[in-house]
Chain A
Amino acid sequence: MKQKAYIYRSFERFWHWMQALSIFFLAATGFEIHGSFTFFGYQNAVKYHNVAAYTFIILIVFAIFWHFTTGEWKQYLPTTKHLKAQINFYLIGIFQNAPHPTKKTVLSKLNPLQKLTYLGLKILVIPTMVISGLLYMFYRYPQKGTIEGLNIGTIEVIALFHTAAAFLLMAFVIVHLYLITTGATITSNLKAMITGYEELEAHEAPENEDLKNEKNEVEV
């Protein structure tokens, strides 16, 4: 039995879409600064990239606050439970119309692969981007009469970290855009992130979830 559930609250949706916008814009301007192509013009690209970076950082600050005040951060706690089943689903089950091995609920929105990926983004890729980005903006050339320890002689290392993380983030975006289509229907995930509502299996006691999933698998 299916039931309409409110799984993405308004801030979460706002945060998601603003983040999406920021990342696309930062990538477009950032790779122009990197010399990959010319579109905005170099000076504009730098200017826009810096403005977008600040908006992105403000957004991140609010998002962190939101995650902790709502307890949503627990969604990202990694687990190995069903990890193999999830991998098997993407490798085999999905082609056989098999149901998702983990059930989406309001309290557990992410499958174990998503948990791992998003946690990686949150504690590795995004911090690398933000820290290297801030250093990129505020590093100080060695100059006379300054404290040597606070100077950065070259931006090479900073730039390389920033670029490497950008490539990873772009790879995430490509895969993420595709995996949107792997919900209950092709558009159900997208609709959920726009409206906040998704048709989920009727809510049962969480402890039964696992059992049920296993049963499902057996049935298939």
Chain B
Amino acid sequence: MKKIVIPLVLIGLVILSAISFLTSKNTEVTKLAVLKEQFDKKNVQHVDHTQFAELKKKFTSPQQVTEACIVCHNGRAQEIMQSNHWNWERAEYVKGRGIVYLGKRNAINNFCIGTEGNEMSCAKCHVGYGMSNSKTFNYNDESNIDCLVCHDNSETYAKAQEKGGAPDPNIDLTNIAQHVGKPKRTNCGVCHFFGGGGNNVKHGDLEKSMFEPAKSVDVHMGTDGMNLQCVDCHKTENHMISGKMYSLSSMNRNRALCEDCHTESPHDDAILNKHTLKVACQTCHIPIYAKVNATKIAWDWSTAGKLKDGKPYEEDDAEGNHTFLSIKGNFTWGKNLKPDYVWFNGTAGHYLLGDKVADTTKPLVLNPLYGSYNDVDSKIIPVKIHRAKQPFDPVNKILIQPKLYAEKVGEGALWKDFNWETASEVGMKDVNLPFSGKISFIKTEMYWPVNHMVSSKENTVKCNECHTRENSRLAGLNDFYMPARDFSPVIETAGKAVLLFSFLLVLAHGGFRIFSSRKMKKKG
């Protein structure tokens, strides 16, 4: 009897332990249910602006609307005037530079390069009116704040092209003023989806399909799902909006993180939860971006200015994306892209106007994202890398900010005159930098963290897309050991040799035994 009891008890223990480790607690479901319940409450408009006497008048200029807003919402203008939406710069600590004022006014990108001198066109996305020159613009005039671009809920407000941020003259200001409220995706999207001069040029994960996305495009904002608005995650207090893009930010502060709602250990599986220390949520939950429309992945400025029969022309691909424009050069587009991956600790560097470029043999990264495996603040994040060839002064060793936009021919603007020399000369004069008269084109890169177009959990990146010998998504990150991807060549070779040797030994020994026993039988 005893003989049976002990093994039975043991088998029982083994099975029990197996069951207890295999079953999981369903905490995730309840956590998600709480969030869903919280965000399911539809945003109710608390006040009816059509009833206010202040707004029941015929507005003839947008400034009048702003003044009307301020009558009730006093103090709010000061908040806006503190924001980088208004100032186009903010104080940032940048590693190696100290504290600098950084923003659209002085940073260089590898799309339309820079704003200075081109404000009439660029300031279409400034939250103000009349910024024809960012240096001379009166940042203290609150009547020039554009409340409507963010707060119009009638979806009829629009800014005019190339008018320094002024609204389209054909809109009904009175009607819009009476239909204001909390910003919706459309308010943010009109600028943030079209940055760089067209849909999805810059981000890759923010584009016009996100106005009314399907859940399959973005699990949070899907109109067939929770239908979240931008400001649901980008929580805002006193007009200070959380979250920012590291094309113009440097510090690990005021970020909008998935963890703010989902916590740092949102999975049922302990091993997955352990990943969150080193892997950002987006890395697994955004397997692809640019899901609906293509995004620009490369921009070659060196071909800009080329004309056909003396006239500017354009070339498009099958989907209607420009592949060449005389004013901008050649473009490469990509759709359904796998992101690249980098370590990121929330801090970034920046190329600012006038910075010398020492080494032009390798691509110049305009906004290096800092981080490494050994840095406790770093996590792996997905990024879009935008590559470009952009104008450079090889004598002064600085990137050129060309004059791109002007109203008329003859002012030196590339987009009117198609002449790089004059565009560079005028552009560099605008920003008070020297220009040698020589232009070359150097390779540059920008890193754009991908944070939107989150897929449903069924479509997340699978374990073996990273944990694999071949074509790992993280093949480029080599400062740490990752199971399945990595191995010690010495142990691998020695181990396989030992196995092969054992196997051959056994085979030879066995074969020889069979052989010799047969021989002995014959003899015997």
Contact = CB atoms under 8 A, between A and B. Distances in A.
A59 B14 contact: yes
Given A38-B464, A55-B17, A142-B376, A174 B480 contact: no
Contacts of A41: 463-464
Given A156-B481, A167-B498, A11 B468 contact: no
Contact of A181 (B467, B469, B499, B510): B510
A174 B502 contact: yes
A208 interface: no
Interface stretch (B203-211, B289-297, B334-342, B487-495): B487-495
B13 to A, nearest CB: 6
A62 B168 CA distance: 82
A142 B377 CA distance: 10
A41 B468 CA distance: 11
Contacts of A155: 481, 483
B488 A163 contact: yes
Interface residues of B, number: 53
A9 B505 CA distance: 32
A33 B487 CA distance: 11
Interface string A156-193: 10011001101110110011011001000000000000
Contacts of A55: 14, 17-18
A52 to B, nearest CB: 8
A149 interface: no
Nearest to B480: A154
B513 A164 contact: no
Interface in B444-481: 462-464, 467-469, 480-481
Q: DSSP class of B's interface residues: helix, strand, loop or mixed?
A: helix
B516 A50 contact: no
B502 A42 contact: no
Interface string B14-32: 1001100110000000000
A144 B264 CA distance: 14
Interface string A93-118: 01111000000000000000000000
A62 B10 contact: yes
B520 A42 contact: no
B520 to A, nearest CB: 6
Contact of A51 (B22, B269, B278): B22
A174 B468 CA distance: 27
A88 interface: no
A4 B271 CA distance: 51
Given A94-B513, A143-B277, A167-B499, A58 B13 contact: yes
B491 A164 contact: yes
A42 B468 CA distance: 9
B517 interface: yes
Contacts of A11: 6-7
Nearest to A35: B484
A128 to B, nearest CB: 13
Contacts of A35: 467-469, 483-485, 487
A43 interface: yes
A170 B269 CA distance: 30
A10 B3 contact: yes
B253 interface: no
B506 interface: yes
A97 B10 contact: no
B374 interface: yes
A143 B21 contact: no
B503 interface: yes
B510 A34 contact: no
A46 interface: yes
A87 interface: no
B512 interface: yes
Interface in A59-106: 59, 62, 90, 94-97
Interface in B248-289: 269, 271, 274, 277-278
Contacts of B58: none
B509 interface: yes
A54 interface: yes
A48 B467 CA distance: 17
A53 B374 CA distance: 29
A178 B481 contact: no
A34 B483 contact: yes
B483 A159 contact: yes
Contact of A178 (B3, B278, B373, B509): B509
B17 A54 contact: yes
A18 interface: yes
A10 B6 contact: yes
A43 B513 contact: no
Nearest to A48: B22
Contact of A163 (B374, B464, B495, B510): B495
A154 B481 contact: yes
Interface of A: 9-11, 14, 18, 33-35, 38, 41-43, 46-47, 50-51, 54-55, 58-59, 62, 90, 94-97, 141-144, 153-156, 159-160, 163-164, 166-168, 170-171, 174-175, 177-178, 181
15 contacts: A10-B6, A14-B7, A43-B463, A55-B17, A55-B18, A95-B517, A141-B277, A141-B278, A159-B483, A160-B488, A163-B491, A163-B495, A166-B495, A171-B501, A174-B499
Given A34-B487, A144-B377, 8 more contacts: A11-B6, A18-B10, A35-B468, A41-B464, A51-B17, A58-B14, A97-B517, A154-B480
